[in-house]
């Protein structure tokens, strides 16, 4: 089995154990935090030009978060289509958790490409998962913007490593 396959399996097992642990701790029952409603409402009730210029209702115009607001709009659409109650944030928590796992996976994969040491790359992913830089990225819907930016930066770095 190749190092890439083993890395993927090890990290998926870590993700599964972490998800089970935080589910038992009540992660999916968090509910409303801070300005979740304002961000969701602003992303839904604005056009593409508003998202591109940062001219959204109830938000700071200096926060240019086009990808974030497009992702919030699609999440809200999916949330409604699946029939969740307006105050049920489980889908948003699942999406933040998947983005967080993607960020940890890409960071570990970068180290695997750079060092070719499986143990170092798995430990990096584990450290990122166990010790988040900001727990709000997992629990707060507005924290998704940090995860999206981190994934984008890591993907650019991965492309540079492959060139």
66-87 confidence digits (pLDDT tens): 777 788 788 888 888 988 777 7
Quote the percentage of the chain above a pLDDT of 70.
90
Please answer whether residues 107 and 152 qualify as being in contact, where contact means their C-beta atoms are separated by less than 8 angstroms.
no
Please answer whether residues 112 and 54 qualify as being in contact, where contact means their C-beta atoms are separated by less than 8 angstroms.
no
pLDDT at 7: 95
d(CA 153, CA 56): 25
- Tokens read off for 92: 């948003």
pLDDT at 18: 94
CB atoms within 10 A of CB 26: 8
Please answer whether residues 68 and 52 qualify as being in contact, where contact means their C-beta atoms are separated by less than 8 angstroms.
no
Q: What is the pLDDT of residues 102-112, one digit of tens each?
A: 999 999 998 99
Residue 147: pLDDT band by 50, 70, 90 thresholds? confident
Q: Which residue has the higher pLDDT, 82 or 122?
A: 122
Sequence-separated (6 or more) residues with CB below 8 Å from residue 67: 148, 152
């Amino acid at each position: 089995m190749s190092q890439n396959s083993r890395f993927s399996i090890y990290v998926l097992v870590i993700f599964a154990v972490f998800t089970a642990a935080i589910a038992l701790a009540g992660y999916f029952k968090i509910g409303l935090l801070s300005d979740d409603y304002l961000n969701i409402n602003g992303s839904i009730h604005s056009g593409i030009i508003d998202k591109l210029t940062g001219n959204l209702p109830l938000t700071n115009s200096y926060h240019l978060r086009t990808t974030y607001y497009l992702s919030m709009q699609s999440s809200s659409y999916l949330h409604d289509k699946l029939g969740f109650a307006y105050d049920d944030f489980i889908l948003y928590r699942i999406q933040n958790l998947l983005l967080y796992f993607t960020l940890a996976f890409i960071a570990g994969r970068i180290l695997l490409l750079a060092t070719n040491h499986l143990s170092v790359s798995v430990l990096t992913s584990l450290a990122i998962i166990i010790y988040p830089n900001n727990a709000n990225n997992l629990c707060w819907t507005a924290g998704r913007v940090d995860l999206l930016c981190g994934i984008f930066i890591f993907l650019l770095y991965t492309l540079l490593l492959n060139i």
